[in-house]
Amino acid sequence: MNTAYFYLTDEGGKLAHKLAAAHPGDIYNKENFKENLRAGFGRYDSLVCIMATGIVVRILAPLIVHKTSDPAVVVLDQKGKYAISLLSGHLGGANDLAREMAVISGGEAVITTATDVTGELSFDTFAKKHDMAIENIGQLKHISGALLSGKKVNVFTDKNAAELYPELAKEQKRGMIAILPLSEFFKTYAIESNIPAVVIDERLFVSNSTVPQAAPVLYLRPRTICAGIGCKRNMEQKPIEEALLQTLKEEGIHPFSLKCIATIPLKSDEPGIIGTAANLNVPLQIIPTEEIKNLDISQLGIQTSEFVANQTGVLSVSTACSYLASSKGTILRDKAKYKGITIALSKERS
């Protein structure tokens, strides 16, 4: 997470340097301050402003888009008495950043999000902590509202939720949530159940278009799927992206469950692969050729190609890359072939 500090006074500057010594980031003084703060809104993950809250609000208000994309904004007074979580408290991490800044400055964090104040589980914070994408962010307020009102929420997942997610186990003991297997989802909601629900799953078969609208249902997609891509030189982005999405669809996997796209060093500069990763908002991971050569390809049952080996120096590109990117997890799809493109999918270990 890259951070920027902004200050207007000498005392604020001293505090900025103190904070940055413990939590590194770029520091900006009052020179061209408005322009730098506006530019920083789109450049940094976190903005720490040592000045009056009103100044920050007036400058940044026109730039605010949505809590899923806006950076975390924390405001401190120049003495560091208070660290206010101003924007993107949960998904952006401003609440945690405010707490951290308060510890460093010796002050007090000011958190106003309702779930934090009441101590209720916040599913956007939960999703961020466990690297899950939120498919339908608009439903989050209904789930949070239900918990704040003391209403029970059903959580459906095929994972060992109580073991993997201690927060859910804690809430289940309190009686605030019920953890249920995914197989119970359609049985429960086919009869217009009005109990709010959270679904945790990578698969497409659970979709917000297939259940009644009586109850809000929030879909969390764990980012566990690593896609390996191989292609001919100078392939365009559109066919690569379409091939990847088609492969995900055939395997019944939601695109939001993508954790990364992986390829070999020889393809690291392919605009089509780079553009696909950027458009799907996932990192591009380059797998060292030597790691692929060290794999026991035959034991893994991976399809090989002498032609590919002659061109790239390795017997497998897409499948080997997806497998290694998943930390040698489970191969879900071995080399799906398209015109000039190969796609493979692996799921990382739980």
Task: Kindly compute the dihedral angle of the four CA atoms of residues 36, 89, 197, 257, in this order, to the nearest 10 degrees.
Answer: 40
Of 23, 27, 38, nearest to 4 by C-alpha is 27
The three-class DSSP label of residue 5 is strand
The token pair at 1 is 């997470």
Q: pLDDT per position in the chain (350 positions), as tens?
A: 699 999 999 999 999 999 999 999 999 999 899 999 999 998 999 999 999 999 999 999 999 888 778 899 999 999 999 999 999 877 778 888 999 999 999 998 888 876 666 566 788 888 888 999 998 888 888 888 888 888 889 999 988 887 888 888 888 888 888 898 988 887 777 666 778 889 999 987 555 455 555 678 899 999 999 999 999 999 999 999 999 999 999 999 999 999 999 999 989 999 999 999 999 999 999 999 999 888 887 777 777 777 776 677 677 889 999 999 999 999 999 989 999 999 999 999 86
CA distances from 250 to 58, 130, 239, 345 (A): 48, 26, 16, 11
The first and second tokens of residue 214, run together, are 């009586």
Q: Residue 27's pLDDT is what?
A: 95
Nearest CA to 345 out of 247, 263, 249 is that of: 247
* The pLDDT of residue 144: 86
CA angle 328–320–259, rounded 5-degree value? 60
Please give the backbone phi and psi of residue 252, each rounded to the nearest 5 degrees, phi first.
Answer: 70, 35
**228 contacts 332 by C-beta, under 8 angstroms:** no
Contacts 24+ apart (CB under 8 A), 85-88: 85/109, 85/110, 85/111, 85/112, 85/113, 86/53, 86/56, 86/57, 87/60
Residue 80 Rama label (left phi>0; alpha psi -120 to 50; beta): left
> Which residue, chain included where needed, has tokens 């939590």?
23
- Check residue 273 and give left, alpha or beta (phi > 0: left; psi -120 to 50: alpha): alpha
Kindly report whether the global pTM for this prediction surpasses the value 0.85: no
Cβ atoms < 10 Å from Cβ of 48: 28
